[in-house]
Amino acid sequence: MLNFIYYPVSFILWCWHWVFGHIFGESSGFAWALAVVFLVFTLRAILFKPFVGQVRSMRKMQEFAPELQKIKKKYANDKQRQAQEMQKLQSEHGVNPLGGCLPMLVQIPVFIGLFHVLRSFRPGWGEVYFFDAQGVESFVNAKLFGANLSTFITMPAQELEQFATSRNAVLLVSIPLMIIASIATHFTARHSVARQTQAAADNPQTAIMNKLTLYIFPIGVLVGGLFFPVAILLYWLSNNAWTLGQQYVVYHRIDREEEAKKVEATAQRSALAPKPGVKPATKPKPGQKPQPQRKPAGAQPASGAAKAAPDDASESTPTAKPSTEIPGLSPDRSPGKKQGNKKRR
């Protein structure tokens, strides 16, 4: 039914076993363990770009988280309108919520496929998906510190005998892997939670998810290790190790990009800002003529022609005559005119 998952997973595992089998030997436990580890690395390398998109999407959602809270409060009684407004806000900011879930959604079927393929490697079985009978027999005979990669702690004693291994050997290998994988899961979640903004951390739903990833998931790995084969524990440990290193690289890369954007924006604002001592130019109102800018005091003309302008103006302008007006009389009436009017009467 899920052969479209089982065959690609088994093919990648076969390729890496072919590589490490030439180094350590086909039936070497280290060759098979490294094949499982590099199966994880191959998958995570393919999902690296979607993971970067996931981190960017989470950053953007944290930026407008307060706006989402306002929409939830405003349309608390109208879920349909609330969903529409939230989708509209996310599209305006270029955020796709499903895009952030892609890396996690892809890892789930791979985990199921690897679990099924490894459980299918049993003594006496023939071909298993991409592996022939010889490849299956090689996996069955491979031992990692005395434990077969398909064995787990709670496996029945009869099945352990079929793999020619003991429960103590499985315990010695599985328990350290369980503890390390659980601790790695916790630190991976802590590193992710530490990048959240305060507004996002105060969200009740986010707070619940943080507690689940910080404590419940690591405990689940520790308890689930009792039922997981050794190869699955290797898968889980290598997956968390890759995630932790990937988060460190991607987060610091995005931090540097955001810091560079801030520096560039600050430089642009300082370039557009008026220089010290210069009054910023104001736009004239509609219908108002722009006012000419006044030259600062003490400014000298830029050319010799401008310097000669005041002398030329003084030569062409006639000198003003002294005023002969008498106080109390209008300009058009002189003393002579006033006497002449009296004689006529």
What is the C-alpha to C-alpha distance for residues 262 and 50, in angstroms, rounded to an integer?
25
pLDDT of residue 41: 93
What is the C-alpha to C-alpha distance for residues 10 and 110, in angstroms, rounded to an integer?
10
pLDDT of residue 203: 62
Q: Which amino acid is at 10?
A: S
- Using alpha carbons, list the distances in angstroms from residue 248 to 16, 176, 241, 243, 244: 26, 25, 11, 9, 6
In contact, 188 and 51? CB cutoff 8 Å:
no
In contact, 135 and 15? CB cutoff 8 Å:
no
Could you tell me if residue 328 is inside a domain? no
Q: Which amino acid is at 338?
A: K
pLDDT of residue 102: 62
pLDDT of residue 55: 75
Could you tell me if residue 285 is inside a domain? no
pLDDT of residue 306: 43
Residue whose C-alpha is closest to residue 5's, from 101, 116, 98, 128: 116
Could you tell me if residue 273 is inside a domain? no
pLDDT of residue 255: 79
Q: According to the 3-state scheme, what is the secondary structure of the chain?
A: CCHHHHHHHHHHHHHHHHHHHHHHCCCCHHHHHHHHHHHHHHHHHHCHHHHHHHHHHHHHHHHCHHHHHHHHHHCCCCHHHHHHHHHHHHHHCCCCHHHHHHHHHHHHHHHHHHHHHHHHCCCCCCCECCECHHHHHHHHHCCECCECCCCCCCCCHHHHHHCCCCHHHHHHHHHHHHHHHHHHHHHHHHHHHCCCCHHHHCCHHHHHHHHHHHHHHHHHHHHHCCCCCHHHHHHHHHHHHHHHHHHHHHHHHHHHHHHHHHHHHHHHHHHHCCCCCCCCCCCCCCCCCCCCCCCCCCCCCCCHHHHHHHHHHHHHCCCCCCCCCCCCCCCCCCHHHHHHHHHHC
Q: Which amino acid is at 3?
A: N
- For the chain, the domain total comes to 1
Contacting residues for 221 by C-beta, under 8 A, at least 6 apart: 178, 181, 182, 185, 236
Which residue is listed with tokens 């970067």? 52
pLDDT of residue 342: 43
For each successive 10 residues of the chain (345 residues), what is the average pLDDT?
Answer: 84 94 90 93 87 75 73 80 79 64 72 84 81 88 89 90 89 93 88 68 69 86 89 90 87 81 80 68 60 54 45 45 48 46 43
pLDDT of residue 337: 45
Could you tell me if residue 312 is inside a domain? no
What is the C-alpha to C-alpha distance for residues 272 and 14, in angstroms, rounded to an integer?
61
How many CB atoms within 10 Å of residue 128? 20
pLDDT of residue 280: 60
What is the C-alpha to C-alpha distance for residues 217 and 68, in angstroms, rounded to an integer?
28
Domain coverage including residue 158: 3-267
Could you tell me if residue 300 is inside a domain? no
Which residues on neighbouring strands pair with residue 144, listed in sequence order? 147
Measured in degrees and rounded to the nearest 5, phi and psi for residue 100 equal: -70, -20
Residue whose C-alpha is closest to residue 198's, from 189, 207, 190: 207
pLDDT of residue 238: 92
Sort residue 306 into left (φ over 0), alpha (ψ -120 to 50) or beta: alpha
Could you tell me if residue 221 is inside a domain? yes
What is the C-alpha to C-alpha distance for residues 86 and 53, in angstroms, rounded to an integer?
20
